[in-house]
Structure 1
């Protein structure tokens, strides 16, 4: 559970706010989390009132909005004084990294700050680069104006779930972050992957290594060694298959989404693939929610479901219908979706017209569905729910 700290404790920094939650019973005592809160408290002190370029930020905010800021091409100023070193919290899923970063962000006394999921940040960057290239056909380097726009909006960037899977992201990260750090931007991030292991085993990683060295230079790395997986605790107490897919089941999925994310509704998110994208109706952190037709009623394939399974550790799926020869295209996609979720140990919370072994009982290809039904049954087990997500 996440409680709320008092305004006084929040004003005193993330460590008093964290201790207030523990004292109220909203959080359990956890030495690893307490150490992380102390580290964040130190950064909070060093960042109080931090703004490396107040004058330029004021001009940007009154200069016609985002597009005016983005298209302004000014020479790069000398780097502002020594920016405080940021923080990169790494640890297994469910250890409280996002909760701690949110405490820090809420407390941070920084006039211009932004908290965003890293994947969403990269999608935003690609959209801005595309817009800049259309508006500046004779120019070839969008990174300086992109960095200027981002630094004009935030002196503190807090990234949740920092991860690099896409070669197009890897190609721009080094120069973009070098430009952001040169402008005094401070980065705080959470990740399941240590900086040295980012983009590991992927083609083109050698060109990515300077970015890793830059992160290690500008951002302190804290390994959150908590032995407790609080996220698994939350899902352990949740029924994961609701029959039938009626109003009661919808309310149960609403409650599950709230329990898993702390929010009643997520925001739309777009996952980029080579040459196309997949839209997720709702997402908060590593939890996605969609109805059956959004994922299986469209011509999606293995690559789409792979992107879904690597970006999200849990899928809340509404309205799985009875399946058969009449809707076999949807059934085939559902089989692929379940196989991919299973292989990546994603957790599935769903409402359906029937229990798994009664979803596809008759007709051609019913036998093919037996393995899927078996996997769906296994995915409801406590043993499966204890398995770590594989990205």
Structure 2
């Protein structure tokens, strides 16, 4: 059975679509479709892409604009700048001497005492990812000796390479930055605790962002008390750094634009070079068939995402997949134009009050920002 989107497209004459401001003239080519894509991502690409995403290519500490009413924000810049400067020493492999020569009659180096990393805790939209990416850029090491990825991307890397190979791959790094650090199940807790312990023992510095203090990771999502040892072990690796403030994406900005009509979204998709066009329920179904580690590749070459029939997300598994897609779209600065429900009604009250609420609020915040970016795609 054809989708309602396909039937609506038949009713529209492509030649009658006016070009959206700033877009290319309309051609006969149909828009792209995310639902038609099934990307395969080799493991070496996962490693090579562990750098700050395009949105954060050019950020630096001096481009971060602290809220003058929130001194913790400027304080974070000071602490992180010093942390980066402290990573300027040579990183020697275990048992190595100057010049990388093997030292045969030395004691095995002991793991660094105390925290070996910083942990940026705060609400969504206070600039934690900006600061984390700035730390990556400021650390005096070659790009291949620094890694930056989300928590999900890190666990996906372990899945692709295997635990031991991941330790070997990241063990020679100066710094590992982990964005959106969350523990959603016991398996991830044990996995990440073991991985970070091995990396710290090899001299890798850690930095992470999250909306949850390190000692509170896992609360509300699984029986955290049963895994207290692992969680406390993770907490001991980090110095918490609280960052207060309101979501900068809404600071002094107008409300998100209301959803458009199906026809407006469809016309904009045809009028915008590199745009994709999918109906929202169909896209949600397709995401279930694509591993989240491939959601970035799913959007390769897409310059705008156009969605019709946006409806409330039906269940938690689907909602969590949508959160990952929203993160990848936001990282890549891909505007999102939609019809149907506004983005602040995607998730049910039960979801917004549950253990994953911070993920859902982050997704709403980011999709709202991308909806603003898409406003210019619609002919006025």
1:82 corresponds to which of 112, 128, 131: 112
What is the distance in 1 between the residues matched to 2:80 and 2:271?
37
How many residues of Structure 1 are paired with residues of Structure 2 in the alignment?
267
The match for 2:80 among 27, 40, 62 is 40
Distance verdict in 2 for CA 1:240–1:313, change over 3 Å: farther
Q: 1:113 aligns with which of 131, 143, 146?
A: 146
Offset, 1:126: 1.5
Query: Using the alignment, how far apart are the partners of 2:235 and 2:206 within structure 1?
Result: 12
Could you say if the C-alpha distance between residues 94 and 170 of structure 1 is closer, same or farther in structure 2, counting changes exceeding 3 Å?
Answer: same
Task: Rate the CA distance shift 1:312–1:3 in 2: closer, same or farther, 3 A.
Answer: closer
Distance 1:37 1:50, change over 3 A: farther
Partner of 2:318: 305
| Matches for 1:231-250 after TM superposition, within 5 Å | 231-233=249-251, 236-243=254-261, 244-246=264-266, 248=268
Aligned 8 A contact 1:91 1:224 in 2: yes
Q: Distance in 1 between matches of 2:179 and 2:121?
A: 11
Aligned to 2:347: 340
CA contact (8 A) 2:215 2:231 kept: yes
CA distance in 2, matches of 1:4, 1:197: 32
Unaligned runs of 5+ in 1: 57-76, 130-142, 256-270, 322-333, 352-391
**Counterpart of 1:175?**
194
Q: Distance in 1 between matches of 2:158 and 2:221?
A: 22
Deviations 1:30-58 (A, max 9, x none): 522110001102212211144232998xx
CA 1:294/1:176 → structure 2, altered by over 3 Å: closer, same or farther? farther
**1:88–1:188 Cα contact (<8 Å) kept:** yes
The Cα shift of 1:114 comes to 0.9
Q: Which of 173, 181, 192 pairs up with 2:211?
A: 192
Following the alignment from structure 1 to structure 2, what is the Cα–Cα distance between the partners of residues 283 and 233? 31
Runs of 5+ unmatched residues, structure 2: 1-54, 97-106, 276-285, 330-334, 353-360, 372-380
What is residue 211 of structure 1 aligned with on the other side? 230
2:248 is aligned to 230
Q: 1:110 to 1:120 in 2, by over 3 A?
A: same
Contact conserved, 1:48 with 1:108, CA < 8 A, in 2?
yes
The question of whether the paired residues in 1 share the 8 Å contact of 2:175 and 2:204 is answered with yes
In the TM superposition, what is the alpha-carbon distance from 1:214 to its structure 2 partner?
2.2
- Structure number with the bigger relative contact order (C-alpha 8 A, sep ≥ 6) is 2
TM-score normalised to structure 2 length: 0.56
User: 2:336 & 2:183 partners in 1: Cα distance?
Assistant: 26
**1:75-105 deviation line (CA, Å, top 9, x unaligned):** xx94466387310000011111111111121
- TM-score normalised to the size of structure 1? 0.54
